[in-house]
């Protein structure tokens, strides 16, 4: 996700009752710094570490999906956008039985073939914005849409093993999109206990690390995020903490002030959500060291594991 347009909002002040969570996140900083050192050491070789984009105008020209790029499994007839393919058997404990999680893989591998459709404006509650975009890509042509689908599928498997009902907003089986307003609606209509939108950034060279995007308090037009701000922050904090620990990656060095948390009020996927929802930018595709991680299947499995553990922690309370 490239960051053009509205400025970032500062993360909302933590409430006193959330002090324990704040301390927990703060305690991650030394570990994050250590992880970053390892991350720096292995990044150029595509190592596996130590363990939003919604509709926006990309800041650099985007590459078309390459048949030779390190994409993971392609959609099958049984892999539907609602995640209806046979679920793996849940573990005996099944701690997430009865919970619904919606995973939103950012963009769509076919968007670049449907520019007119994805440039159509949709209402995001506070204003109008493009339906979707192509997303970004590494310099070698591995696309954000390929990355997000692979991580989403891996994440779905992990959550289903925990007993959760998992739905995907798209599984590469649509000609384009869905548009950002529909992505929000899918989570709302599912009455999801948590929604996570998966992305990779398209920032400048040297900008590295992950960050989790939280909804700002917005009450305008069709948007009213006030009921979901607090639970979304908790979800984001837990995902950030797990992501550091599992992947060895550090919080972004270019947004979020080293916290790995950024609050935004311009994303329709958050503004229109009525259930707890966050975006995660797993790394920067335009930096060669981050890109070496993002194209690694082993690292993507760790990314999915980190996100999964954060979701499980959030849903178990």
Work out the average pLDDT over 275-287.
98
Q: Is residue 293 part of a domain?
A: no
Q: Is 18 exposed, middle or buried (0-12, 13-18, 19+ CB in 10 A)?
A: middle
Tokens of 73: 């499994």
Main-chain phi, psi angles of 284, to 5 degrees: -105, 110
Which region, left, alpha or beta, applies to residue 56 given φ > 0 means left and ψ of -120 to 50 means alpha?
beta
In a domain, 39, yes or no: yes
Q: Is residue 86 part of a domain?
A: yes
Residue written as token pair 């929604």: 195
Position 247 pLDDT exceeds 80: yes
- Worst-scoring range by mean pLDDT, 5-14, 124-133, 272-281? 5-14
50 falls within a domain: yes
Cα-Cα-Cα-Cα dihedral sign, residues 109, 144, 299, 88: negative
Q: Is 8 part of a structural domain of the chain?
A: no
Q: How many domains, in total, are found in the chain?
A: 1
Kindly tell me if the per-residue pLDDT of 237 is higher than 70. yes
Range with the poorest average pLDDT among 50-64, 147-161, 188-202, 279-293: 50-64
Going from the C-alpha of 64 to that of each of 21, 68, 146, 250, the distances in angstroms are 41, 11, 11, 29
Top-confidence residue, 30 or 203 = 203
Are β-strands 100-105 and 165-168 bridged in parallel, bridged antiparallel, or unpaired?
A: parallel
Count of Cβ atoms closer than 10 Å to residue 5 Cβ? 11
Q: Please report, in angstroms and rounded to a whole number, the separation of the first and last CA atoms in the chain.
A: 30
Mean pLDDT of 17-39: 43
Q: Give the tens place of pLDDT for each residue, 43-62.
A: 433 333 333 445 443 333 34
Look at residue 85 in the predicted model and tell me its pLDDT: 54
* pLDDT, tens only, 187-197: 999 999 999 99
Give residue 92's pLDDT band: very low, low, confident or very high (50, 70, 90).
low
- What is the model's pLDDT at position 86? 61
pLDDT band at 91 (very low <50, low <70, confident <90, very high): low
For residue 2, the model assigns a pLDDT of: 41
Among 76-80, 90-94, 139-143, 202-206, the least confident range: 76-80
Residue-range definition of the domain harbouring residue 305: 18-64+78-272+298-316
221 touches 271 (CB < 8 A) = no
In a domain, 195, yes or no: yes
Please indicate, yes or no, if residue 70 is contained in any of the structural domains. no
On whether residue 235 sits in a domain, the answer given is: yes
Q: Give the CATH number for residue 32.
A: 3.40.630.40
């Amino acid at each position: 996700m490239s960051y053009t347009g509205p400025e970032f909002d500062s993360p909302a002040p933590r409430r006193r009752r959330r002090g324990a969570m704040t301390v927990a996140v703060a305690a991650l900083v030394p570990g994050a710094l250590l992880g970053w050192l390892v991350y720096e050491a292995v990044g150029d070789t595509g190592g596996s570490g130590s363990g939003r984009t919604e509709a926006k105008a990309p800041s650099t020209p985007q590459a078309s999906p390459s048949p030779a790029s390190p994409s993971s499994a392609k959609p099958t007839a049984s892999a539907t956008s609602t995640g209806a393919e046979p679920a793996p058997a849940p573990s005996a404990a099944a701690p997430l039985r009865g919970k619904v999680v919606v995973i939103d893989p950012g963009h769509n591998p076919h968007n670049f073939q449907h520019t007119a459709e994805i440039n159509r404006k949709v209402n995001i509650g506070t204003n109008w914005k493009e339906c979707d975009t192509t997303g970004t890509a590494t310099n070698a042509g591995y696309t954000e849409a390929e990355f997000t689908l692979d991580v989403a599928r891996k994440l779905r498997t992990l959550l289903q093993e925990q007993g959760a009902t998992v739905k995907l907003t798209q599984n590469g089986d649509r000609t384009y999109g869905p548009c950002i307003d529909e992505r929000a609606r899918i989570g709302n209509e599912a009455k999801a206990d948590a929604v996570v939108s998966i992305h990779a950034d398209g920032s400048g060279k040297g900008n590295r690390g992950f960050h989790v995007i939280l909804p700002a308090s917005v009450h305008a037009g069709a948007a009213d995020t006030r009921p979901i701000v607090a639970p979304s922050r908790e979800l984001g904090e837990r995902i950030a903490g797990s992501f550091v620990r599992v992947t060895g990656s550090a919080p972004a060095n270019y947004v979020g002030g080293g916290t790995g948390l950024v609050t935004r009020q311009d994303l329709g996927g958050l503004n229109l959500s009525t259930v707890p929802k966050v975006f995660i930018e797993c790394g920067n595709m335009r930096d060669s060291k981050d890109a070496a991680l993002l194209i690694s299947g082993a690292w993507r499995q760790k990314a999915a594991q980190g996100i999964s553990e954060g979701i499980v922690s959030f849903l178990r309370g």
